[in-house]
Chain A
Amino acid sequence: EVQLVQSGAEVKKPGESLRISCKGSGYSFTTYWIGWVRQMPGKGLEWMGIIYPADSDTRYSPSFQGQVTMSADKSSSTAYLQWSSLKASDTAMYFCARRYCTSTSCYLGSYDSWGQGTLVTVSS
């Protein structure tokens, strides 16, 4: 069974750093792109970017470029999303998701397996 398991909720202060994780299992972690999606409280989904764990090729949404860093560790089948200096406006639920692929193709903008989400709260 394909699973993406994310790290637990975090409460941080403005200016602090943070790294959250997304561990994949049940499939070949290195050969599927992993995307990150933000959902602010009571709001919609926002695509942040995507990483290919095999070579850490990364693409960021212009809205998030320079604001976060995505990385991946092949040895532990884990993707990471990190901030160097959090702001109150980073308070949100963050989801990781695996890009949808069949035996014949992979599909842009489509994600078939999702983590349970990590709630990040930034407050002084």
Chain B
Amino acid sequence: QSALTQPRSVSGSPGQSVTISCTGTSSDVGGYDYVSWYQQHPGKAPKLMIYDVSKRPSGVPDRFSGSKSGNTASLTISGLQAEDEADYYCCSYAGRYTFVVFGGGTKLTVL
């Protein structure tokens, strides 16, 4: 069982928006503004999409956005495109003893 809880799967049609949730506790997601999101295509290494809850690294389209409320973080992808179909993982700093935890991952299907 992963430390952070994500839905197993979400889906949407091209052009639509989808939101993936990531629920933790006050010891991780709720306690720090250090949530990141990764995209992983099959057989590939993960790619950083969002850091510090809502910031995008250079090169990541602004269709990807992040937010947080309490112990739940969210990744929203607007204007879905076929290439967005992938697994998405949230990640949070969890303090000086646990350090970093991942969510179980969410499979995004673009219909």
Contacting pair A61 B102 (CB below 8 A): no
A110-B48, A110-B52, A114-B45 are contacts. A44–B89 as well, Cβ < 8 Å?
yes
Contacting pair A44 B34 (CB below 8 A): no
Contact bitstring B72-99, A, C-beta under 8 A = 1, else 0 = 0000000000000001010111000111
Choose from A35, A46, A47, A108 the contact partner of B34 (Cβ within 8 Å). A108
Number of A-B contacts (CB under 8 A): 72
Question: How many Å from the CB of B34 to the closest CB on chain A?
Answer: 4
* CB of B64 closer than 8 Å to a CB of A: no
Count residues on chain A whose CB falls below 8 Å from chain B CBs. Answer: 24
By size class, the interface of chain B is 20 to 34
CA distance A66 to B45 in the complex (A): 26
Choose from B46, B51, B57 the contact partner of A114 (Cβ within 8 Å). B46
Contacting pair A44 B99 (CB below 8 A): no
Contacting pair A109 B36 (CB below 8 A): yes
Name the residue of chain B whose CB is nearest to the CB of A96. B45
CA distance A110 to B49 in the complex (A): 10
CA distance A35 to B38 in the complex (A): 15
- Chain B residues close to A by CB (< 8 Å): 2, 32, 34-36, 38, 40, 45-48, 51-52, 57, 87, 89, 91-93, 97-105
Q: A44-B2, A110-B36, A110-B51 are in contact. List 17 more A-B contacts (CB 8 A).
A: A37-B46, A44-B89, A44-B104, A45-B46, A45-B91, A62-B98, A95-B45, A95-B46, A97-B45, A100-B57, A107-B34, A108-B32, A110-B34, A110-B52, A110-B91, A111-B48, A114-B47
